[in-house]
Amino acid sequence: MHYFEDFHTGDSFDLGSLTVTQEEIISFAQHFDSQYFHTDPERARRSIFGGLVASGWHTTALFMRMFVDSLLSHTDSIASPGINELRWLKPVRPNDTLRGRFIVTDTRVSQSRPDIGILYSHCELFNQHNELLMTFNGIHFVGRKPTESL
Amino acid sequence: MHYFEDFHTGDSFDLGSLTVTQEEIISFAQHFDSQYFHTDPERARRSIFGGLVASGWHTTALFMRMFVDSLLSHTDSIASPGINELRWLKPVRPNDTLRGRFIVTDTRVSQSRPDIGILYSHCELFNQHNELLMTFNGIHFVGRKPTESL
């Protein structure tokens, strides 16, 4: 289990990879973001994207899938108050293989809750062509290492 | 169909409402954010939330569902380059009935693409107790009104 004390400014974590299908892109969009360029491959050709692309909110959810699997699932993760400067730079397309990266940019102990540490991060999502698709700056509350194990 | 010229700074749009079930919260989390406070009602009682809560990324997706249904589906929506200052202020819980609001904070025509308008917005999500759960500042590219209809 990772605790706040295990993260340091400058640490960089590769979050593994996953591949997204056209069916998954359309299914997510039908539930949450049914704009035609996310649901209709034919009409999407005439959009600014030139073809079907994943919803930006599907893209953030796919990043989260990798972040949880590779890092948060074995970290004392408590909550997140939010994120800053989310940018969808290029779209996710059917059969793209995505890779995520989590870079620690700052750490501090909460003043109001000294049992909680705050991780600031820069998060990046790439495709199989090493194109940078999405970035955001994350904030996470993480448990501090129990005193007996310090 | 709404175009860029139909939106003005200060315009406020109610985005309707929807109710989210425990099953939906768990299903989303199993796909994208399988932290225990999103998937396991019993263990979640001992989390900082005191019970099961929706993933923050489920919360953004539910906002998008209302935004698309009530506004974007009849707007010449082109794309979004990103959002700023996303804040999860309070969690979404099972059986919450959510309401969304979209407030236009600025508008301008793209310098590089004069056929595209840019809408800046402040977006808000409330629950049935009128508690403010989530805010973010959105950026949207919207088509300009075709010249023949000006």
**How does pLDDT run across B72-101, given as a tens digit for each residue?**
999 999 999 999 999 999 999 999 999 999
Judging contacts by C-beta atoms under 8 Å, the chain A residues touching residue B56 are: 80, 82
What mean pLDDT is predicted for residues B113-129?
A: 97
Q: Is the predicted pLDDT of residue B146 greater than 90, yes or no?
A: no
Of B14, B99, B26, B36, the residue nearest B62 (C-alpha) = B99
In a domain, B94, yes or no: yes
Residues A47, B87: C-beta atoms closer than 8 Å? no
Supply the pLDDT for residue B73.
Answer: 95
What confidence tier does A146 reach under pLDDT thresholds 50, 70, 90? confident
What mean pLDDT is predicted for residues A44-71?
A: 98
B121, B54 contact by CB (below 8 A): no
In a domain, A122, yes or no: yes
Q: Which residue of B has its CA nearest to A50?
A: B78
Q: Is the predicted pLDDT of residue B148 greater than 90, yes or no?
A: no
Which tokens go with B98? 């959510």
In a domain, A25, yes or no: no
CATH code (residue B112) = 3.10.129.10
Supply the pLDDT for residue A147.
Answer: 79
Q: Which residue of A has its CA nearest to B142?
A: A48
Average pLDDT, chain B: 96
The total of other beta-carbon atoms located within 10 Å of residue B42's CB is 9
User: Which residues have a Cβ under 8 Å from the Cβ of B48 and sit 6 or more positions away?
Assistant: A78, A79, A141, B37
In a domain, A37, yes or no: no
What mean pLDDT is predicted for residues B41-67?
A: 98
Q: Which residue of B has its CA nearest to A85?
A: B84
In a domain, A143, yes or no: yes
If one counts the domains in chain B, the total is 1
Dist CA B34 CA B38 (whole Å): 6
What confidence tier does A148 reach under pLDDT thresholds 50, 70, 90? low
Residues A88, B82: C-beta atoms closer than 8 Å? yes
B79, B141 contact by CB (below 8 A): yes
In a domain, A42, yes or no: no
How many CB pairs (< 8 A) connect A and B? 89
Q: Is the predicted pLDDT of residue A140 greater than 60, yes or no?
A: yes
Residues of chain B with pLDDT > 90, as a percent, come to 97
Choose from A24, A31, A112 for mutation: most chain B CBs within 10 A: A31
In a domain, A136, yes or no: yes
Residues 84-143 of B with CB under 8 A from A: 84-89, 141
Residues of chain A with pLDDT > 90, as a percent, come to 97
In a domain, B34, yes or no: no
Residues B73, A31: C-beta atoms closer than 8 Å? no
Domain of A67, in residue numbers = 4-20+55-149
What mean pLDDT is predicted for residues B12-28?
A: 98
